[in-house]
Chain A
């Protein structure tokens, strides 16, 4: 795909794509790279890194393998990040499309709802929802998505409003295309790209939010999450700082990766659009 080539054209995109593939590889093959349940007690507690070959990154205060935790935690972070972003964008796109296309009272009403969700502090909303509904992975994803869907909705609506007036849409209408068909075939493909660049930001924010929630004790206890590892490492921060530092580093690397990919996509789209402008002429 041309887009992929453009992404690799930029340094950010290239580095980001490589790192992302590495992370996805780790996430997909976690059970192979680190067999067994990462939450199992693997050895003596509070073992320092590089002191035992079998447990290269040491163990936590219960004796669980830190390396296994970091490897399997990649799954959690990426899953939550991608799922939350997907949900937020899916809902946002639908609402934005509906609002932008319908106009009038429906538009006003939907925009008020979007306003409400944008005003509600996202993290607090997530905190409240997870606290009351119980901390499990689906609930965390839902909680994060609820705080994030408003921005894509607003952006989508703005896109729709501007594209709606373009010539090719008018042309489609004149030829008698059904409004829904116009929405999906003409407007959506052109409106989507900027919304997608928002995706990287949402994924990164979702990963950080999930770790903050786990840090506050609201993580799913049946899976490994980096935030929970940092929270538990906090009790021994002075004597075993590696327990908090290592998952923290993993988080930083993951978020940076997502950002780099996002930057790459943004730049690629900008260049692609520049190319398009030249080709389409004055109507764009």
Chain B
């Protein structure tokens, strides 16, 4: 228990400088780019003149020096204020709270589905390496992983939404349907089926391959030979000994995946018109909205840190021999 607490404390301590670096990097990226939020705004309204632009810049504080703006941002952040979004004319925190759950739902479901299916197939493949089943599963997983997500999303959309009409083609739920409770959940589930399916297919391949590879490695280890010598059934060996130990790298994978979550959702949300976090980030870049992008990246970073911390604790549970810090070595 104390080891866990020590881990948590140490992780929190190292996270602060990491977050600071993340903020500075993102800030530099957007602030030194060509065009600022006012330029983006002028494009959207089809014109304007320098007087209008100058007024707007002053109103939004864009005429101050970069360092001054960074300092302002950091000081308001210390007060847990994420700032004001120029592009959306609303507090950044509001936008994040609004859009984050959609993406979490999308990516969470996709990851869960991919993890479940991927590990199962991986176990089946890794139970008998080099067998026919293994070959088939491995080949399929290879193809799935090589398919670009946006392409798969497009094709599935055309087949299932437009041609077959089994599922809706875009959006999160039927507009202004006024549904509540189970009816609403079912509606959202149907709208998310295609995007989740697309993402799950790609991620599943990843988990499948990792599970299979780590199982192949574990087979060679001492304690498996020992178990076989003891006369345990093949199935028991697979499930109780091999799979459990092979799960460890998968846990690592999950941690790495969480960082890719935000990026992976951008294209899918665009194709399926899901009002999510990824698209919000893309908007922030196009509109050069620094506070919004910073807020999004920070939220994502904090989530990743938390997820990794939890996974480290899980890792320790799965294999008490190892120190929690070993996972991230």
Contact = CB atoms under 8 A, between A and B. Distances in A.
A and B touch in the complex (CB under 8 A): yes
Interface of A: 112-113, 115-116, 118-125, 127-129, 131-134, 158, 161, 204, 208, 211-212, 215-216, 227, 230, 234, 237-238, 241, 244, 248, 251-253, 255-256, 259-260
A128 B30 CA distance: 8
Given A124-B263, A212-B148, A119 B305 contact: yes
B21 A251 contact: no
Q: Which 3 A-B pairs have the closest CB atoms?
A: A123-B263, A132-B33, A255-B146
B329 A123 contact: no
A88 B227 CA distance: 42
A115 B149 CA distance: 26
Contacts of B147: 248, 252
B109 interface: no
A131 B270 CA distance: 16
A216 B147 CA distance: 17
B29 A112 contact: no
Nearest to A234: B154
Contacts of B137: none
Interface in B122-156: 142-143, 145-151, 154
B148 A133 contact: no
A251 B146 contact: yes
Given A120-B22, A234-B154, 20 more contacts: A119-B305, A120-B26, A123-B260, A123-B262, A123-B263, A127-B281, A133-B33, A204-B146, A212-B150, A212-B267, A215-B148, A216-B270, A230-B150, A248-B147, A248-B148, A252-B147, A252-B148, A255-B146, A256-B142, A259-B142
Contact of B154 (A121, A123, A237): A237
Contact of B301 (A119, A123, A134): A119
Nearest to B152: A248
Interface in B238-267: 256, 259-264, 266-267
Taking each of A113, A131, A133, A241, which has the highest tally of chain B beta carbons within 10 Å of its own beta carbon?
Answer: A131
Interface in B1-18: 14, 17-18
A122 B146 contact: no
B304 interface: yes
B293 interface: yes
A131 B283 CA distance: 11
Contacts of B304: 119
B-side interface mostly: helix
A-side interface mostly: helix
Contact of B146 (A125, A129, A252): A252
A119 B264 CA distance: 14
B117 interface: no
A227 to B, nearest CB: 8
A244 B25 contact: no
Q: How large is the interface on B (under 10, 10 to 19, 20 to 34, 35 or more residues)?
A: 35 or more
B317 interface: no
A248 B18 CA distance: 38
Contacts of B87: none
B323 interface: no
A115 B11 CA distance: 11
Nearest to A230: B151
Nearest to B202: A208
Nearest to A155: B329
Nearest to B144: A252
A132 B42 CA distance: 17
B14 A112 contact: yes
Given A123-B266, A237-B158, A116 B25 contact: yes
B151 A251 contact: yes
Contact of A121 (B146, B262, B288): B262
A124 to B, nearest CB: 5
A131 B18 contact: no
A237 B154 CA distance: 9
Given A112-B14, A216-B267, A120 B25 contact: yes
Interface string B285-298: 11010000100010
A119 B22 contact: yes
Nearest to B34: A132
Nearest to A226: B148
B102 interface: no
Nearest to A131: B285
Contacts of A132: 29-30, 32-35, 285, 288
A27 B151 CA distance: 23
A231 B309 CA distance: 39
Given A215-B267, A244-B154, A127 B148 contact: no
Interface string B263-287: 1101100100000001001100110
Contacts of A134: 34
A115 B148 contact: no
Contacts of B288: 132
Contact of B281 (A124, A133, A241, A252): A124
B18 A122 contact: no
Contacts of A122: 259-260, 263
Contact of A124 (B34, B145, B162, B266): B266
Given A122-B260, A123-B264, A116 B150 contact: no
A112 B146 contact: no
A238 B158 contact: yes
